């Protein structure tokens, strides 16, 4: 059975090529999903535009619009297991992590419902005989383009604030993970969200992307994914003069200083790179350690990496599942080979796990590489897999210069018992997020995004709602 998708106010089968999604843990086909033709994309965008412009959405008072978001949040909680299973089947993440992400999606809708009710217009100081009120208006229809690594959280992070801001959303999920977005659309429908406010267009980015972004109804694009795709989308947005919010890749430095609690730091490093098989934009993939403590720290990390339990995502004891696709595993393997050729020493991992339960899945062992310098290809390019490179440093100046010697600037972790040092280094690192004595702690209330080639714009927090609005200043004469 070919699954339908929501477009133009109904669920359609689409006249594009049928898409098959594959379970990376077993190699089995999960689902066959219809995709739209260019004409169906055009119709869906026109319908979304009409839905966004209709009085029943555009003229809603903020607390009325918030009611929809609260209902969606409750419906997500009710159907959280469907969402978690949908993601697990398609990207192979451990079920327990998928369940946490479904809960996080519900929390995101709740946060933006509250933001919608409480965000204020501004009355700037008057500089003459007038009163100015600055209001924030929606763009109309925004395109949300999402990747495969964490669709549950990333789609909520775009759809919730864009709706709260008064827009309609056209969502293009990764072709690897379409089921979570279809499940979210069903949940929104069940929660009573009017037709046309959330459209899902399944299919390949290279087919759907250009047609979608060329549509005049699309007035803003919010993208999360690889830096090269982000650059291409920014080019299209520049030509069309529409804003583009880009959350891109990373090569984040994770730093252990000589005064750190080393066992705690090593736990943080292991989670920071291997949780989700390293398929996270904020993965701490370059570890900087004091030269004198290099061997001691590597020995602890190797022991911890070897204790990680790989397995089927449904397994109650599974810490990490497979990579998100067999194709992606090939890419990770190529990177590890490239590291070996550049003189890297594989301290652990560097191969597929052995055992019948791993035969058909895209599994790969957590890998730690030493003996390289920061200029090596694996230290400069985003691998997006379970590969940690350990780099020794000599002093703080050397550390900061080398940690910043990357095109990216997404995140950083610092482990130390000296908060003055932590503050000094945190301020010097080019990154949108810095964690001190913790890692990957994320709050929907705090802005998130990248420096340098890690992106433009900030999602989450109140700024994450303003991203989907444009300011309008209205002047009233007072004399
Ligand atoms: P992409 O950046 O290619 O894909 C992200 C999204 O963009 C997908 O929905 C994709 O669709 C879509 N897309 C692709 N081409 C276009 C286009 N021309 N116009 C509009 N949309 C498009 O990521 P990949 O899946 O190819 O992964 C490549 C690398 O990107 C990874 O190895 C990793 O390094 C990085 N990455 C970073 C992420 C992050 O969170 N920052 C997330 C995912 C990847 P489709 O999937 O159908 O091609």
Cβ–Cβ < 8 Å for 448, 459:
yes
> What pLDDT score does 154 carry?
98
Q: Where in the chain is the domain with CATH 3.40.605.10?
A: 2-248+453-477
Is 252 in a helix, a strand, or coil? coil
* Band of residue 445 on the pLDDT scale cut at 50, 70, 90: very high
Q: Which of 136, 382, 140, 414 is nearest to 260 (CA)?
A: 414
* Tens-place pLDDT, residues 415-433: 999 999 999 999 999 999 9
E strands, 141-217, are 141-145, 168-172, 198-200
Q: Say which residue the tokens 């900087």 belong to.
A: 288
Q: What percent of the chain has pLDDT over 70?
A: 100
CA–centroid distance, 275 to ligand 1, in Å, is 20
DSSP 462: T
Q: Where in the chain is the domain with CATH 3.40.309.10?
A: 253-443
> What pLDDT score does 232 carry?
97
- Which residues on adjacent β-strands are paired with residue 144? 171, 222
> What pLDDT score does 193 carry?
98
* Band of residue 18 on the pLDDT scale cut at 50, 70, 90: very high
CA–centroid distance, 229 to ligand 1, in Å, is 6
Give 304-333 as a DSSP string.
Answer: HHHH--B--TT-TT-SB---S-HHHHHHHH
* Tens-place pLDDT, residues 87-128: 999 999 999 999 999 999 999 999 999 999 999 889 999 899
Rounded to an integer, what distance in angstroms lies between the CA atom of residue 363 and that of residue 330? Answer: 10
Q: Which of 389, 445, 437 is nearest to 412 (CA)?
A: 437
* Tens-place pLDDT, residues 228-279: 999 999 999 999 999 999 999 999 999 999 999 999 999 999 999 999 999 9
Q: Supply angle C-alpha 472, 212, 33, rounded to 5.
A: 130
> What pLDDT score does 423 carry?
98
Using a 6 Å CB cutoff, which residues line ligand 1? 145-149, 172-176, 204-206, 209, 224-226, 229, 232-233, 247-249, 281, 382, 384
Compute, in degrees rounded to 10, the torsion defined by CA atoms 305, 309, 312, 317.
-140
* Tens-place pLDDT, residues 46-59: 999 999 999 999 99
CATH topology of domain 253-443: Aldehyde Dehydrogenase; Chain A, domain 2 (3.40.309)
Structure tokens at 136: 């924030």
First-to-last CA distance in the chain? Answer: 69
Does the domain at 2-248+453-477 match CATH 3.40.50.720? Answer given as: no
369-395: average pLDDT? 98
Q: Which atom of ligand 1 is nearest to the CA of 328?
A: 32
* Tens-place pLDDT, residues 117-161: 999 889 999 899 999 999 999 999 999 999 999 999 999 999 999
Cβ–Cβ < 8 Å for 2, 18:
yes
């Amino acid at each position: 059975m070919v699954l339908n998708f929501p477009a133009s106010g109904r669920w359609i089968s689409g006249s594009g090529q049928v898409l098959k999604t594959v379970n990376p843990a077993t190699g089995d086909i999960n689902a066959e999903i219809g995709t739209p033709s260019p004409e169906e994309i055009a119709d869906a965008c026109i319908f979304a535009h009409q839905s966004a412009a209709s009085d029943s959405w555009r003229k809603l008072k903020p607390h009325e619009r918030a009611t929809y978001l609260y209902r969606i949040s409750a419906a997500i909680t009710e159907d959280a297991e469907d969402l978690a299973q949908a993601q697990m089947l398609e990207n192979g993440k451990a079920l327990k992590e998928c369940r946490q992400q479904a809960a996080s999606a519900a929390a995101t809708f709740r946060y933006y419902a509250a933001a919608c009710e409480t965000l204020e217009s501004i009355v700037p100081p008057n500089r003459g005989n007038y009163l100015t009120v600055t209001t924030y208006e929606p763009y109309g229809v925004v395109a949300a383009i999402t990747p495969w690594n964490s669709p549950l959280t990333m789609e909520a992070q775009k759809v919730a604030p864009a709706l709260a801001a008064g827009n309609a959303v056209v969502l293009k999920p990764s072709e690897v993970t379409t089921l979570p977005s279809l499940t979210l659309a069903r949940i929104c429908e069940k929660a009573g969200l009017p037709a046309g406010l959330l459209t899902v267009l399944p299919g390949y980015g290279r087919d759907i992307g250009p047609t979608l972004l060329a549509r005049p109804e699309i007035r803003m694009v919010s993208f999360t994914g690889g830096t090269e795709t982000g650059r291409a989308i920014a080019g299209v947005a520049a030509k069309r003069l529409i804003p583009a919010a880009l959350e891109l890749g990373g090569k984040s430095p994770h730093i252990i200083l000589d005064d750190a609690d080393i066992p705690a730091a090593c736990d943080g490093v292991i989670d920071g790179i291997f949780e989700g098989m390293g398929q996270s934009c904020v993965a701490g993939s370059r570890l900087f350690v004091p030269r004198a403590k290099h061997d001691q720290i590597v020995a602890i990390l190797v022991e911890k990496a070897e204790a990680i339990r790989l397995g089927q995502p449904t397994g109650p004891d599974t810490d990490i599942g497979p990579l998100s696709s067999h194709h992606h595993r090939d890419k990770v393997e190529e990177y590890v080979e490239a590291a070996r050729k550049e003189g890297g020493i594989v301290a652990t991992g560097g191969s597929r796990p052995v055992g019948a339960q791993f035969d058909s899945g895209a599994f790969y062992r957590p890998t730690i590489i030493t003996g390289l310098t920061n200029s090596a290809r694996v230290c400069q390019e985003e691998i997006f897999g379970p590969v940690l490179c350990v780099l020794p440093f000599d002093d703080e100046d050397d550390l900061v210069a080398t940690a910043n010697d990357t095109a990216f600037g997404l995140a950083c972790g610092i482990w130390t018992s000296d908060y003055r040092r932590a503050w000094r280094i945190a301020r010097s690192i080019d990154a949108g997020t810095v964690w001190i004595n913790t890692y990957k702690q994320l709050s929907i209330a705090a802005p998130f995004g990248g420096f340098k080639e890690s992106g433009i714009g900030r999602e989450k927090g109140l700024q994450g709602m303003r991203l989907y609005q444009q300011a309008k200043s209205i002047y009233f004469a007072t004399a």
